[in-house]
């Protein structure tokens, strides 16, 4: 399925209705055919990941509420957008997440406790991208990572790792960002560089309708999916709460990028059911009716409905719930045990080569702390 | 040939030797050509070195620093980028994560600000987020400073902003020899380096030792020895200080000139040793003086050489104003007379 043929200009691709019933229309026919070909094993793996992520997310939120985390960034509601896209990736692809992509990062091998350690104030990073499925560290500066993903993809192209036809070699990067980020200059510059250099990067926009308290209508009076088209980047919009649409569109987009034809863009329309972060109060800016309308379109319920229609049993689904609960229980146990790192680490990674000012200040603090300890024991 | 033909005698051809390391082991070159040769040597030594910037390829850069390099190394290693500084720096970060060593040219000092977030929030801090084995070996070359009579945004000295930012290294050569060697060392560094090129010094010539001329870039250099007053500066200011020292000598005052070379980190000991000897320090810089590199030097020298000082450290800086119109720049930029006025004040304590 080629990108241009598969990306109608005005349609939102949807394959599952709010009950999880498969819907086929003239407009989604190509996607429907691709979705039917998804093996049950993949459908179950994606569902499992969504269920685990939601349990993890709720448990982490509760840990913040009990003072165990400084902040939490909830992912509830965006599981299908995240899981569908990350399942389209291959091992050699590289991921540049934003900070809400818990389903993405964990699918690529990031440990739940590594995410927790960020929000407990123990690290600015948390994991080694080389050991975690090429998952890079997110940045909190909105949209900055789109340029990093684009530059990385430019490097893939320079290395000749696109368009060879070898499924183990051809690679792409994928970058996650939100509707607020689309207003940033960096995101628009990323479109320019990606298009100019035919970089194999997939721009995966999760339009969750709110940039903290500001609705997407303030970011753009025109559909966000129309923007990259003006930069020469093929774009497609999907129902981001539909795991089949999210996955099939991401397969098309990543295949396009790896083939050497240049960047691709997917807008996944979804909704942030929770607050922006644990410090936010969404009741101040959005209504109950809007929230309720999106709760009815819950991505996990729709996936479950579809799986049941394919004969998946209660017992199989209960296994996923149990696994999610085990992850939740594990972080509840282990989070309070995480202690502050030794003070030296704040000096250790600033530079990669020796730096006299850093060495001097590390030495000063060590001596000062030793003195203080001595004084308190005296 | 008519005047019109002379005015528009443009050519796409490079000058002889552009993009090559000279064969003479001790050539006399302007800094512009020394930088060109240093970039050529770095690209020759490591095929992961890429040049990125506006107009650096076909044109060879507005100052011709990259002249001939695209012809020699191709347009994937010398990239004429879209006109977007944040985009250049942000994509360079991605390329560095992929294993490349991007060397970026910012066209003029005042055009670095659209890339400031990518430099200070991303490039400078990313090593701190990443595991030890990952690094960001990126060099950002910035032609900076005044004395060229240019329009607004083309004569600024922004080094303080980068020196204040943990995670960056900031250096500035004052001679062609240093330019040749320091650019190569900056490119080889695992850390991001802001490479401040004193554009008014691009054209004066000096001898370059292509074999034995290397002095580590984070090393302060005593450029001229003296006994009564230490004069310290970096970049283009070093030439002004040398001129001031000449004049002072004629008037019977012996000045030592110290070339900082590295702005962050600063190699303090040679400077402190000089001040312990002379007891007097005059700091000169083109940048505005308030909260500047000169402020840091004054504070550190006061802290560490207090009992040997005969006079307080004195600063000669650009005024705390936006860089003035070119017809007034000579009043804004420290010259030998303003340095000597400070020397007189130091001696009068």
Q: What is the pLDDT along chain A (378 residues), one digit of tens a residue?
A: 666 555 556 789 999 999 999 999 999 999 999 999 999 999 999 999 999 999 999 999 999 999 999 999 999 999 999 999 999 999 999 999 999 999 999 999 999 999 999 999 999 998 999 999 999 999 999 999 999 999 999 999 999 999 999 999 999 999 999 999 999 999 999 999 999 999 999 999 999 999 999 999 999 999 999 999 999 999 999 999 999 999 999 999 999 999 999 999 999 999 999 999 999 999 999 999 999 999 999 999 999 999 999 999 999 999 999 999 999 999 999 999 999 999 999 999 999 999 999 999 999 999 999 998 776 654
Say what the pLDDT of residue A16 is: 97
- Phi, psi at residue A209, to the nearest 5°? 80, -15
User: Can you tell me the distance from the alpha carbon of A377 to that of A355, in angstroms, rounded to the nearest whole number?
Assistant: 33
User: Can you tell me the distance from the alpha carbon of A137 to that of A126, in angstroms, rounded to the nearest whole number?
Assistant: 8
Say what the pLDDT of residue B16 is: 79
Say what the pLDDT of residue A376 is: 63
Name the token pair of B99. 């294993």
Query: Is there a contact between A144 and B121 if contact means CB atoms under 8 Å apart?
Result: yes
Nearest-neighbour CA in chain A from B90: distance (Å): 5
Alpha-carbon distance values, A325 to A57, A321, A322, A328 (Å): 11, 6, 5, 5
Contact criterion met (CB below 8 Å) for B67 and B61? yes
Whether chain A has a CB inside 8 Å of the CB on B98: the answer is yes
Say what the pLDDT of residue A126 is: 87
Alpha-carbon distance values, A148 to A231, B98, B122, B340 (Å): 18, 10, 9, 49
Read off the pLDDT of residues B308-342 as tens digits, 9 standing for 90 and up.
Answer: 999 999 999 999 999 999 999 999 999 999 999 99
Burial A8-28 (b: 16+ CB within 10 A, else e): eeeebbbbbebebeeeeeeeb
How many cross-chain Cβ pairs, A to B, lie less than 8 Å apart?
Answer: 129
Most A CBs within 10 Å, among B73, B83, B94, B187, to test the A interface? B94
- Closest Cα partner for B178 from B159, B197, B193? B197
Query: Is there a contact between B93 and A147 if contact means CB atoms under 8 Å apart?
Result: yes
User: Which residues of chain B are within 8 Å of residue A132 when distances are taken between CB atoms?
Assistant: none
**The CATH classification of domain A3-337, taken from the options 3.40.710.10, 3.30.1360.200, 3.40.50.970, 3.40.50.1110:** 3.40.50.970
User: In terms of pLDDT, which residue wins out, A3 or B246?
Assistant: B246
In this complex, the residue of B87, B93, B98 whose CB is nearest that of residue A189 is B87
User: Can you tell me the distance from the alpha carbon of A358 to that of A347, in angstroms, rounded to the nearest whole number?
Assistant: 6
In this complex, the residue of B76, B82, B127 whose CB is nearest that of residue A349 is B127
Does the annotation count A272 as an active-site position? yes
Query: Is there a contact between B86 and A189 if contact means CB atoms under 8 Å apart?
Result: yes
- Phi, psi at residue B347, to the nearest 5°? -70, -25
- Closest Cα partner for A181 from A151, A222, A214? A214
Query: Is there a contact between A125 and B100 if contact means CB atoms under 8 Å apart?
Result: no
Per the listing, tokens 């005042």 go with: B110
Name the token pair of A267. 């807008």
Strands in chain B per DSSP E: 28-30, 49-53, 78-80, 101-105, 139-144, 169-171, 193-198, 205-207, 221-224, 229-233, 255-259, 262-264, 281-288, 314-318
Residue B153 in 3-state DSSP? coil
Burial A66-78 (b: 16+ CB within 10 A, else e): eebbeebbbbbbb
The length of chain B is 349
User: Which residues of chain B are within 8 Å of residue A156 when distances are taken between CB atoms?
Assistant: 98
Domain ranges of chain A: 3-337, 345-377
Instruction: Note the pTM of the prediction, 2 decimals.
Output: 0.96
- Closest Cα partner for A14 from A5, A3, A27? A27
Whether chain A has a CB inside 8 Å of the CB on B303: the answer is no
- Closest Cα partner for A299 from A54, A91, A102, A26? A54
Say what the pLDDT of residue A107 is: 98
Say what the pLDDT of residue A2 is: 65
In this complex, the residue of B95, B97, B167 whose CB is nearest that of residue A351 is B167
Per the listing, tokens 């720049």 go with: B329
Residue A206 in 3-state DSSP? strand
User: Which residues of chain A are within 8 Å of residue B126 when distances are taken between CB atoms?
Assistant: 137
In this complex, the residue of A141, A151, A355 whose CB is nearest that of residue B91 is A151
Burial label, B157 (beta-carbon count in 10 A; 0-12, 13-18, 19+): buried
Strands in A57-113 per DSSP E: 94-96
Most A CBs within 10 Å, among B75, B79, B91, to test the A interface? B91
User: Can you tell me the distance from the alpha carbon of B142 to that of B139, in angstroms, rounded to the nearest whole number?
Assistant: 10
User: Can you tell me the distance from the alpha carbon of A52 to that of A49, in angstroms, rounded to the nearest whole number?
Assistant: 5
**Choice among A21, A65, A124, A285 that is catalytic:** A285
Contact criterion met (CB below 8 Å) for A266 and A236? yes
User: Which residues of chain A are within 8 Å of residue B267 when distances are taken between CB atoms?
Assistant: 356
Mean pLDDT of B6-14: 54
- 3-class DSSP string for A295-317: HCCCHHHHHHHHHHHCCCCHHHH
CA angle at A108 for the pair A159 and A17, rounded to the nearest 5°: 110
B123 DSSP 8-state letter: I
B8 has pLDDT over 60: no
> Biggest alpha carbon distance in chain B?
68
B133 DSSP 8-state letter: T
**Helix residue spans in B152-236 (DSSP H):** 159-163, 176-188
Burial B116-145 (b: 16+ CB within 10 A, else e): bbbbbebbbbbbbbbeeebbbbbbbbbbbb
Read off the pLDDT of residues B67-114 as tens digits, 9 standing for 90 and up.
Answer: 999 999 999 999 999 999 999 999 999 999 999 999 999 999 999 999
User: Which residues of chain A are within 8 Å of residue B84 when distances are taken between CB atoms?
Assistant: 189, 192-193
Mean pLDDT over the full length of chain B: 95
**Choice among A276, A297, A302, A306 that is catalytic:** A276
Query: Is there a contact between A192 and B82 if contact means CB atoms under 8 Å apart?
Result: yes
Most B CBs within 10 Å, among A98, A128, A134, A148, to test the B interface? A148
The length of chain A is 378
User: Can you tell me the distance from the alpha carbon of A313 to that of A223, in angstroms, rounded to the nearest whole number?
Assistant: 40
CA angle at A346 for the pair A344 and A352, rounded to the nearest 5°: 95
Nearest-neighbour CA in chain A from B12: distance (Å): 24
Query: Mind telling me the catalytic residues of B?
Result: 154
Contact criterion met (CB below 8 Å) for A191 and A254? no
Query: Which residues 181-210 of B are in CB contact (within 8 Å) with A?
Result: 189-191
Say what the pLDDT of residue A373 is: 77
User: Which residues of chain A are within 8 Å of residue B171 when distances are taken between CB atoms?
Assistant: none
In this complex, the residue of B97, B133, B167 whose CB is nearest that of residue A350 is B167
Whether chain A has a CB inside 8 Å of the CB on B91: the answer is yes
User: Can you tell me the distance from the alpha carbon of A212 to that of A179, in angstroms, rounded to the nearest whole number?
Assistant: 10
User: Can you tell me the distance from the alpha carbon of A107 to that of A86, in angstroms, rounded to the nearest whole number?
Assistant: 7
- Closest Cα partner for A191 from B136, B86, B49, B140? B86
- Closest Cα partner for A152 from B91, B159, B336? B91
Query: Is there a contact between B265 and A129 if contact means CB atoms under 8 Å apart?
Result: no
Mean pLDDT of B120-137: 96
CA angle at A7 for the pair A4 and A10, rounded to the nearest 5°: 130
Mean pLDDT of B124-143: 96
In this complex, the residue of A155, A192, A196 whose CB is nearest that of residue B95 is A155
- Structural domains of chain B, with CATH: 27-207 (3.40.50.970), 221-348 (3.40.50.920)
User: Can you tell me the distance from the alpha carbon of B304 to that of B180, in angstroms, rounded to the nearest whole number?
Assistant: 33
Instruction: Provide the β-strand partners of residue B205.
Output: B30
User: Which residues of chain B are within 8 Å of residue A147 when distances are taken between CB atoms?
Assistant: 86-87, 89-91, 93-94, 118
Query: Is there a contact between A158 and B76 if contact means CB atoms under 8 Å apart?
Result: yes
Does the annotation count A276 as an active-site position? yes
Say what the pLDDT of residue B1 is: 43
**Choice among A272, A297, A302, A306 that is catalytic:** A272
Query: Is there a contact between B130 and A357 if contact means CB atoms under 8 Å apart?
Result: no
């Amino acid at each position: 399925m080629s990108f241009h043929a598969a990306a109608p200009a005005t349609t939102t691709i949807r394959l599952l209705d709010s009950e999880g019933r498969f819907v086929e229309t003239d407009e989604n026919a190509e996607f429907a055919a691709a979705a039917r070909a998804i093996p049950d094993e993949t459908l179950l793996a994606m569902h499992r990941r969504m269920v685990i992520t939601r349990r993890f997310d709720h448990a982490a939120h509760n840990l913040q509420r009990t003072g165990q985390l400084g902040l939490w960034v909830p992912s509830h509601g965006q599981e299908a957008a995240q899981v569908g896209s990350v399942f389209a990736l291959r091992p050699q692809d590289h991921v540049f997440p934003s900070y809400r992509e818990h389903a993405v990062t964990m699918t690529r091998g990031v440990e739940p406790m590594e995410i927790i350690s960020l929000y407990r104030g123990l690290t600015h990073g948390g994991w080694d991208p080389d050991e975690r499925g090429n998952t890079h560290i997110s940045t909190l500066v909105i949209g900055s990572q789109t340029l990093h993903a684009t530059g990385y993809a430019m490097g893939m192209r320079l290395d000749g790792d696109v368009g060879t036809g070898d499924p183990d070699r051809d690679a792409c990067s994928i970058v996650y960002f939100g509707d607020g980020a689309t207003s940033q200059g960096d995101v628009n510059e990323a479109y320019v560089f990606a298009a100019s250099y035919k970089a194999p990067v997939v721009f995966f926009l999760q339009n969750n309708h709110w940039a903290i308290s500001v609705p997407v209508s303030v970011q753009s009076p025109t559909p966000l999916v129309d923007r990259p088209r003006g930069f020469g980047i093929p774009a497609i919009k999907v129902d981001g709460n539909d795991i089949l649409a999210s996955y099939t569109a991401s397969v098309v987009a990543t295949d396009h990028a790896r083939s050497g034809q240049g960047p691709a863009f997917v807008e996944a329309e979804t909704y942030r059911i929770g607050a922006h972060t644990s410090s936010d109060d969404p009741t101040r800016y959005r209504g109950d009716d809007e929230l309720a309308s999106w709760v009815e379109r819950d991505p996990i319920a729709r996936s479950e409905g579809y799986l049941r229609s394919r004969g998946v049993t209660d017992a199989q689904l209960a296994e996923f719930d149990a696994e999610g609960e085990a992850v939740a229980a594990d972080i509840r146990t282990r989070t309070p045990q995480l202690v502050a790192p030794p003070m030296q680490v704040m000096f250790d990674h600033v530079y990669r080569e020796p730096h006299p000012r850093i060495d001097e200040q590390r030495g000063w603090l060590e001596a000062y702390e030793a003195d203080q300890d001595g004084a308190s024991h005296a | 040939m008519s005047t019109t033909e002379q005015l528009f005698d443009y050519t796409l051809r490079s000058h002889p030797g552009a993009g090559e390391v000279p064969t003479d082991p001790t050539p006399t070159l302007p800094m512009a050509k020394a930088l060109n040769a240093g970039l050529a040597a770095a690209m020759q030594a490591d095929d992961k070195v890429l040049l990125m910037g506006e107009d650096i390829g076909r044109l060879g850069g507005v100052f011709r620093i990259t002249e001939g390099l695209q012809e020699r190394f191709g347009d994937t290693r010398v990239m004429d980028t879209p006109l977007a500084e944040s985009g250049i720096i942000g994509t360079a970060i991605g390329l560095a994560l992929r294993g490349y060593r991007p060397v970026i040219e910012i066209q003029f000092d005042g055009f670095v600000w659209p890339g400031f977030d990518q430099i200070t929030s991303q490039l400078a801090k990313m090593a701190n987020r990443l595991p030890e084995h990952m690094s960001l070996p990126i060099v950002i070359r910035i032609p900076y400073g005044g004395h060229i009579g240019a329009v607004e945004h083309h004569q600024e000295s922004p080094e303080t902003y980068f020196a204040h930012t943990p995670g960056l290294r900031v250096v500035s050569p004052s001679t062609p020899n240093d330019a040749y060697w320091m650019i190569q060392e900056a490119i080889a560094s695992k850390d991001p380096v802001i490479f401040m090129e004193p554009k008014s010094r691009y054209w004066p010539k000096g001898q370059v030792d292509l074999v034995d001329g290397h002095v580590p870039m984070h090393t302060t250099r005593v450029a001229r020895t003296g006994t009564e007053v230490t004069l310290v500066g970096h970049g283009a200011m070093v030439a002004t200080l040398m001129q001031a020292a000449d004049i002072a000598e004629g008037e019977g005052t012996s000045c030592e000139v110290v070339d900082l070379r590295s702005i962050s980190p600063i190699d303090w000991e040679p400077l402190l040793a000089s001040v312990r000897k002379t007891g007097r320090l005059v700091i000169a810089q083109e940048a505005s003086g308030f909260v500047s590199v000169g402020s840091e030097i004054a504070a550190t020298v006061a802290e560490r050489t207090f009992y040997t000082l005969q006079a307080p450290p004195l600063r000669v800086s650009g005024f705390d104003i936006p860089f003035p119109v070119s017809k007034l720049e000579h009043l804004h930029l420290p010259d030998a007379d303003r340095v000597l006025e400070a020397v007189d004040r130091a001696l009068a304590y």
